[in-house]
Structure 1
Amino acid sequence: MDHNKLSKDILQLVGGEENVNNVIHCMTRLRFNLKDNNKVKRSQLESLDGVMGTNISGAQFQIIIGNEVPKVYKAILENSKLSDGASSGGTQSGGKQNVISAIFDVISGVFTPILPAIAGAGMIKGILAIFVLLGWVAEGSQTHTILNVIGDGAFYFMPIILAVSAARKFGSNMYIGAAIGAAILHPNLSALFAAGDPISFIGLPVTIATYSSTVIPILLAIWIASYVEKWIDRVTHASLKLIVVPTVTLLVVVPVTLITVGPLGAILGEYLSTGINFLFENAGLVAMILLAGTFSVIIMTGMHYALVPIMINNITVNGFDYMIPAMFLANMGQAGASFAVALKTKSPKFKSLSYSVSVTALMGITEPAMYGVNVRLKKPFIGALLGAAVGGAYMGITKVAAYILAGAAGLPGIPAFIGPTFVHAMIGLVIAFIAATIISYLIGFEDVVEEGTKEEAPTTVKEEVVATAFTSTQVHSPITGEVKPLSEVNDPTFAQELMGKGIAIYPEVGEVVSPVSGTITTLFKTKHAIGITSDTGAEILIHVGLDTVQLNGQYFTTHLEEGARVNVGDKITSFDIEAIKGQGYDVITPVIITNTNSYADITAVMSGKVKKGEVLLDLATN
């Protein structure tokens, strides 16, 4: 690979150096923050020798290079006036982040960490509805009341949960944020509002508003609090900060919220929900067709983050939402299109991949199907969009709504539809899957040609290979956790085995140990990825989490250095699983054999639970 030439070609095809705000790299890919992604010549980039693929994550344009990425990155810096973006932790340099990207970044950073809480609570509400429908729990009974409290608690106290998440995102004290949320939900304040009498605070009128289950008022309040807190902290002597900063912040922000920000946010939230409901009630057919048919594209651009608070607001204010069904339809479309590819492709390897990612899309994890199969083949992606739109037409006519937030927009999330339109929702999902399958099968695609198919060796040679004695190398598990196939990794680089074959582990203990005896050849300075070469020549990549390069080493601790000699079981890195998940990152950890072509076969030895040090992979050589 000519790193110098490749770097120049990449710079030219991303729109030139003048289109680059910032570039950093992780273990496998270049990560560009561009001024205009539309200037990228993506197909030409993907055809370059040395480029394995491209991906867009939020506003970030990613070019998948593989093991050679540090050298390509270095060549880019040498052939341009760009600075080392990694030195600043991957922040954008050379210009401010545009407003739209900044908004998406804030929404994603605030809402992603809280989704498990509200998804879990929503599922409990859905399960309770099923129990009542089946007569297993009597409505109004003590059991019903307790289960309802468990399911409704996260939604009622939404302002407190959001306050913590928003304060962390805005860089202010999370517990001061929680105190602000608690204040506007206090029972005495609610009683004061319920009395209906005029209310004032030091002579200023307080507008009566309901804050339980709301979204917008607390976001505005914590945004203001972040500035107030930082300003007070800056002007207060160090010896007084502990008392003065929280006291003044609460005394300023809570009254401001009650007098101006809170009522304004409540009104905005109400108007937003009313407007969306009006659109779907009066033009539901067109609205659902358009939204369902374009939702996969919305996900690819990262704009779906902007819809999350609207969905939550609709659920908490109205008790239902018309936008969530479109997410389900989009995933059913991607699943159906991949299923069609599996039925039609002549490549055994790609057939297996397509079946696998179709199932994961049905479960609500759509990226492997979208990037690994449908976008790659182009026409099936169109089939997925059209199939989702057909399902959207049915749901639009029947006015299907979702009544809870139930996690992934797939089969496990079906309780989201428990309500008056449940049957129509199920029919709509089936229609989307079948329509996408039929459309994708009929419009066809240019089939994948497996490597070596055109110049396949004679049968006699194959028989000779089979007869050859094999030796094997064992790779032990570097992590304690649950074994997952690479196809379930929500990143096309790993799901498509672009980096090589291997396995993934969902960690239960935040510790990485050496899976072989050998040498640490790469220990990335962000600490999230480790490259090891075994004494027998196996090259192993351990990549802790997805996109965790953006944490810039936060929550990771290294115990050895690059170049160190290791034996099986030697501790290399430790990491805080919950803190990383709390920042919205997936902690699933691919373990890849990057020199896959050096082996006749790579077999996963373990399934289910695995402990560090147990044999994980068997590498067969002849």
Structure 2
Amino acid sequence: MSTDDKNRAVAAAILPLVGGAGNITSVAHCMTRLRLGLRDRSLVRDEELKALPAVMGVVEDDTYQIVLGPGTVARVTPEFEALVAEAPAAPAATPSADDLAAQGAAIRAARKARNQTPFKLFLRRIANVFVPLIPALIGCGIIAGLNGLLINLGWLPAVTPALAAIASGFMALIAVFVGFNTAKEFGGTPILGGAVAAIVVFPGVAKVDAFGQTLSPGQGGVLGALGAAVLAVYVEKWCRRWVPESLDVLVTPTLTVLVSGLVTIFGLMFVAGEVSNAIGEFADWLLVHAGAGAGFVLGGLFLPLVMLGLHQALIPIHTTLIEQQGHTVLLPVLAMAGAGQVGAAMAVYLRLPRNGSIRRTIKSALPAGFLGVGEPLIYGVSLPLGRPFVTACVGGAFGGGFVGLFSMLGTKVGSTAIGPSGWALFPLLDGDKGLGRTIAVYAGGLLTGYLAGFVATYFWGFGARLLEEFDVDTDTGPETVVAASAGTTPPPGPAPEPGPEPKPAKL
């Protein structure tokens, strides 16, 4: 079977299990997940879906998210979209449309009451602005790292200027993309958001004197672009309400760009610039003066932040640091949470020698875990078991403390892009003491996280009751061990295959 046929077969297997084409309202994907908008959640056959070999897990959030893994999801999504487009518009047949609709409405209402707080919804919107930019950040970051290596080695001097242009072009205009996505996410006209955000990076602002200060192109960066585009959305919505329809096409875009642009130039750029500078200075100060302690806390708390969806607040901070300093010093510290998860999973494997289903899950999920894709281990192993999730956080804390300690000693480790972690972060590493030392410190942090997570889980991750419940013989079928609780939003990555779904254990 060709690769295209395989991807289409995966899409064809998923479609009927999510209620058919008529139950699909939207199709999108991120780095690892197929994200579906559903008309009726009750039509989804969860267990059959999780049992598909290609499906590593599911996560429920504002969309129904099917974890397929990096690379795979980008190939399956177009095939899935094509199947949805080709299918008849009518929804899949149901025994009682009214009953199912009522059941779906009840499920949605319960989820909304439980999880969709205004703060989380706001963070999700902010994440939706920046997440589509991650592939470009990764690609340009790797090219920038390669270019730096070639320059240091003195190789291909005729090529390095071209590589520098390729790597830097996106970052020079990232404010425009942020503005475009912001307006789209907040319900405005995307191109107007991009037009207002473009003011931030326009070289001509250097001729503007705002309150006695000459502006600099790029002042305020992505935060200024974000604020400018949000303002443009509100100005546009106000215009739509009050401007006569006959004049709307002329007046609304003109007023939107003019009002938002003036506020951006004579206010937002200065304020956002001060905030951006403060973020960079605080991050540097934190790791230089409190690196070990700060790294311990950040590495230990990142997995719980992920489970609560609060990690999304860090995305604009990472982006600001990359735009400002060329790399983010926070991501390598936070990446240690994944190392603790890997170490914990290896300990679980040894502590449950009779549970074939969980051990199969760990064996299939560990390669992805080493590459920084944590969901298979989170949802298939540590979170359902309970206490191993806590000890995985302990491993992340020690790994983060290791990287933070070396920041205090003068070796900062940064990443030129956001998204990858684990071993996948090596090509994106950057630092102030040379690439060799930077790689060594990051590798040392990973090893520390692996070891601490393993030791903490092996010796303190299991009580007698937990061992009695889970260290039992299981069948050898390909069931899925996934306890993806509703309302969680983990960092990009897939989830597992085998095993019966375990009951959440008491700590």
TM-score (norm 2): 0.69
- Structure 1 residues 180 and 133: alpha-carbon distance in aligned structure 2, compared to 1, 3 A threshold: same
The count of residues paired between Structure 1 and Structure 2 equals: 400
Q: CA deviation at 1:319?
A: 2.9
- Structure 1 residues 351 and 74: alpha-carbon distance in aligned structure 2, compared to 1, 3 A threshold: same
Q: CA deviation at 1:257?
A: 0.4
Give distance in 2, aligned partners of 1:589 and 1:330: 16
Q: Secondary structure at the match of 1:114?
A: helix
Q: Secondary structure at the match of 1:113?
A: helix
Determine if the alignment matches structure 1 residue 429 to structure 2 residue 429: no
Determine if the alignment matches structure 1 residue 127 to structure 2 residue 139: no
Percent identity between matched residues is: 26
Determine if the alignment matches structure 1 residue 159 to structure 2 residue 175: yes
Letter of the 2:457 partner, please give it.
S
Letter of the 1:216 partner, please give it.
L
Equivalences for 1:548-559 in 2 at 5 Å?
none
Equivalences for 1:197-596 in 2 at 5 Å?
199=209, 208-211=215-218, 214-346=221-353, 347-399=355-407, 400-419=412-431, 420=433, 421-445=438-462, 446=467, 447-451=470-474, 496=481
Please tell me whether Structure 1 or Structure 2 has the larger radius of gyration of its CA atoms. Answer: 1
Q: CA deviation at 1:442?
A: 2.8
Q: Secondary structure at the match of 2:221?
A: coil
- Of residues 423-432 and 435-444 in structure 1, the stretch that sits farther from structure 2 once superposed is 435-444
Give distance in 2, aligned partners of 1:92 and 1:301: 14
Give distance in 2, aligned partners of 1:274 and 1:74: 57
Determine if the alignment matches structure 1 residue 143 to structure 2 residue 159: yes
Give distance in 2, aligned partners of 1:113 and 1:233: 28
Q: CA deviation at 1:272?
A: 2.2
- Structure 1 residues 393 and 56: alpha-carbon distance in aligned structure 2, compared to 1, 3 A threshold: same
User: Is contact 2:144-2:164 (8 Å) kept?
Assistant: yes
User: Is contact 1:159-1:213 (8 Å) kept?
Assistant: no
Q: Deviations over 1:131-176 (max 9, x none)?
A: 3344434xxx442121112112222211101011101111111111
Equivalences for 1:67-216 in 2 at 5 Å?
98-137=117-156, 141-190=157-206, 192=207, 199=209, 208-211=215-218, 214-216=221-223
User: Is contact 1:126-1:415 (8 Å) kept?
Assistant: yes
Q: CA deviation at 1:495?
A: 5.6
Q: Secondary structure at the match of 2:413?
A: coil
Letter of the 1:442 partner, please give it.
F
Aligned to 2:78: none
Give distance in 2, aligned partners of 1:128 and 1:398: 26
Q: Deviations over 1:533-573 (max 9, x none)?
A: xxxxxxxxxxxxxx9xxxxxxxxxxxxxxxxxxxxxxxxxx
User: Is contact 1:293-1:330 (8 Å) kept?
Assistant: yes
Give distance in 1, aligned partners of 2:337 and 2:274: 31
Q: Deviations over 1:324-363 (max 9, x none)?
A: 0122101111112112222332223321211221221111
Give distance in 2, aligned partners of 1:25 and 1:448: 34
Q: CA deviation at 1:222?
A: 0.8
Letter of the 1:299 partner, please give it.
V
Give distance in 2, aligned partners of 1:328 and 1:415: 14
Letter of the 1:164 partner, please give it.
F
- Structure 1 residues 97 and 428: alpha-carbon distance in aligned structure 2, compared to 1, 3 A threshold: closer
Q: CA deviation at 1:265?
A: 1.2
Give distance in 1, aligned partners of 2:190 and 2:297: 39
Give distance in 2, aligned partners of 1:429 and 1:367: 18
User: Is contact 1:325-1:401 (8 Å) kept?
Assistant: yes
Letter of the 1:360 partner, please give it.
A
Letter of the 1:167 partner, please give it.
A
Q: CA deviation at 1:382?
A: 2.4
Give distance in 1, aligned partners of 2:95 and 2:160: 58
Letter of the 1:318 partner, please give it.
Q
Q: Secondary structure at the match of 1:282?
A: helix
Q: CA deviation at 1:370?
A: 0.9
Q: Secondary structure at the match of 2:372?
A: coil
- Structure 1 residues 395 and 266: alpha-carbon distance in aligned structure 2, compared to 1, 3 A threshold: same
User: Is contact 2:415-2:425 (8 Å) kept?
Assistant: no
Q: CA deviation at 1:263?
A: 1.0
**Unmatched segments (≥5 aa) in structure 2:** 1-38, 47-56, 66-93, 499-507
User: Is contact 1:213-1:317 (8 Å) kept?
Assistant: no
- Structure 1 residues 498 and 57: alpha-carbon distance in aligned structure 2, compared to 1, 3 A threshold: closer
- Structure 1 residues 74 and 292: alpha-carbon distance in aligned structure 2, compared to 1, 3 A threshold: farther
Give distance in 1, aligned partners of 2:192 and 2:182: 11
Higher helix share: 2
Give distance in 2, aligned partners of 1:206 and 1:225: 24
Give distance in 2, aligned partners of 1:586 and 1:326: 17
User: Is contact 1:163-1:180 (8 Å) kept?
Assistant: yes
Highest relative contact order (Cα 8 Å, sep 6+), 1 or 2?
Answer: 2
Letter of the 1:363 partner, please give it.
L
Give distance in 2, aligned partners of 1:586 and 1:95: 23
User: Is contact 2:219-2:269 (8 Å) kept?
Assistant: no
Higher strand share: 1
TM-score (norm 1): 0.57
Give distance in 2, aligned partners of 1:373 and 1:213: 43
- Structure 1 residues 321 and 283: alpha-carbon distance in aligned structure 2, compared to 1, 3 A threshold: same
RMSD: 4.0
Give distance in 2, aligned partners of 1:375 and 1:320: 32
Q: Secondary structure at the match of 1:215?
A: helix
Give distance in 2, aligned partners of 1:397 and 1:93: 42
Letter of the 2:472 partner, please give it.
V
Q: CA deviation at 1:27?
A: 4.3
- Structure 1 residues 237 and 59: alpha-carbon distance in aligned structure 2, compared to 1, 3 A threshold: closer
Letter of the 1:401 partner, please give it.
V
Give distance in 2, aligned partners of 1:389 and 1:70: 51
